[in-house]
Structure 1
Amino acid sequence: MESQPRGGTRWKRFGLVMVPSVAATAAIGIAFAQGALAASFAVSGQQFKVTTEVLDGTGFTQYGALDVKHNGERIPVAVSSFDKATITGLCQSVVVPTPLGNITVKLTAGNGSKPVEAQNLFIDISNLDANATFTNIDIGVSVDHTSKGPGPADGDAYVPGSFAQQADRAVLTNIEQTAWATSAGTFKLPGLSLSLHRGKDAECF
């Protein structure tokens, strides 16, 4: 089902837009517990932090889903997906417990003249703060009838017919987010830098 353009919308906090998607995960949890859904994506037991100066994406879709940790625990997430995205000033960090104490693994990219480029990008988010501008956004569409960006794949843990939203374009700035997983068809990282730090002081935020 094709959606008609309705102009642009701006929110100071992207979290306000995410509320219906995250709330819908309660229904997802019930369906999962009853065996109605199958998990297709297993994640580690740790979340990671990401900051970005600018994420400019086309073909945006967002919906509620469940990830499953390696120990079988089910995690509600809001999945944000893009057909294509460019990312300026990317920082990603995760704190890993080791016998030597906590070690922060930190990755940065896209800080020069060339931004990070991603295609068919999926981000499984538990928390996000940003400024956002959407072009031709549709809020409250059925997840099964999204047409502007990548939707759930076969086997993904989501409730058929549940809440979703989509837009022709989404521009997010000053992003701080916590996520369980990121996947992409292609992910180009110019100026990639990977470093290890003792403790937690080197986290992205």
Structure 2
Amino acid sequence: MSEEQLSAGGGRTSWRRFTIAAASSLVLAFGTITTTTAASIPLSFAVAGNPFSVTARRLDAEGAVQFASFRQDAAGARHAVAAVGIRKARLYGLCQSALAHTPLGTVTLLIRSGWQEPVTASQMALDLASLKGDMSFGEVEMGRDAATLQGGGVTGTRGTYGQQAGTLEIKHMRMEAWSLTAGMFTLNGATMNVRAGEHPCP
């Protein structure tokens, strides 16, 4: 049996065909990020069973809000999230990695931005599982009712803790997110690779 093929119940499955099929599914999933508008907030689609990763050398944002919430996946499980809304953002040195766990193994989709120009996004909404980095906030309001948040494009349930900032900078950013939508998401000089196995962003 060659490395290109796997025998299963008398049939033969081409790894090349499998990789193309997996890549197509992952690209379609990523397509929802680039085409979803802010009008869809609050988000209504079921999230995948595991979060994806995004890293960047730096994020500069104007108008950022955050509050606690829950998201539900296709299996019905609920996940606690930090719901974040950002009016405008620029990300430098962006890398996104998403894993697809299949019966034939794990496939990683890697998307990287070019180094000459930043990734730009507007009316962006994220459901975060975790966030790390060196953060600087300007014009901060903490403890504000989540239903009254302004400037980030999303609001939470009345009585829920919320916070907002006029400006936000995160250096050496690393986040795990269940979902991301944006009115516009632009990557110049981007590259996309699909590889067998787990290959997260560095």
Q: 2:36 maps to which residue? A: none
Measured in 1, the distance between the counterparts of 2:65 and 2:43 equals 20
Measured in 1, the distance between the counterparts of 2:127 and 2:189 equals 25
Any unmatched runs of 5+ in structure 2?
1-41
Which whole-Å deviations, capped at 9, do the CAs of 1:149-204 have from their partners, x for residues lacking one?
Answer: 2223xxxxx5322100000000111011111001000111111111011211x211
Measured in 2, the distance between the counterparts of 1:55 and 1:108 equals 15
Q: 2:171 maps to which residue? A: 173
CA RMSD of aligned residues (A): 1.6
1:90 pairs with 2:97: no
Any unmatched runs of 5+ in structure 1?
1-37, 153-157
Q: 1:51 maps to which residue? A: 55
Q: 1:151 maps to which residue? A: 154
Secondary structure of 1:94's aligned partner: strand
Secondary structure of 2:139's aligned partner: strand
Q: 2:46 maps to which residue? A: 42
Aligned residues: 161
TM-score by length of 1: 0.74
1:195 pairs with 2:198: no
Q: 1:160 maps to which residue? A: 158
Q: What is the CA-CA distance between 1:144 and the residue it aligns to?
A: 1.1
TM-score by length of 2: 0.75
Q: In 2, are the aligned partners of 1:137 and 1:165 still within 8 Å (CA)?
A: yes
Measured in 1, the distance between the counterparts of 2:57 and 2:43 equals 32
Which whole-Å deviations, capped at 9, do the CAs of 1:87-119 have from their partners, x for residues lacking one?
Answer: 11111101212343211111111x322111100
Q: In 2, are the aligned partners of 1:39 and 1:68 still within 8 Å (CA)?
A: no
Q: How does 1:1-205 map to 2 (within 5 A)?
A: 40-109=44-113, 111-152=114-155, 158-200=156-198, 202-205=199-202
Measured in 2, the distance between the counterparts of 1:88 and 1:204 equals 14
Measured in 1, the distance between the counterparts of 2:97 and 2:43 equals 26
Measured in 2, the distance between the counterparts of 1:39 and 1:76 equals 15
Larger Rg: 2
Q: What is the CA-CA distance between 1:66 and the residue it aligns to?
A: 1.2
Measured in 2, the distance between the counterparts of 1:70 and 1:142 equals 30
Which whole-Å deviations, capped at 9, do the CAs of 1:71-102 have from their partners, x for residues lacking one?
Answer: 11111100121110011111110121234321
Q: Alignment identity in percent? A: 30
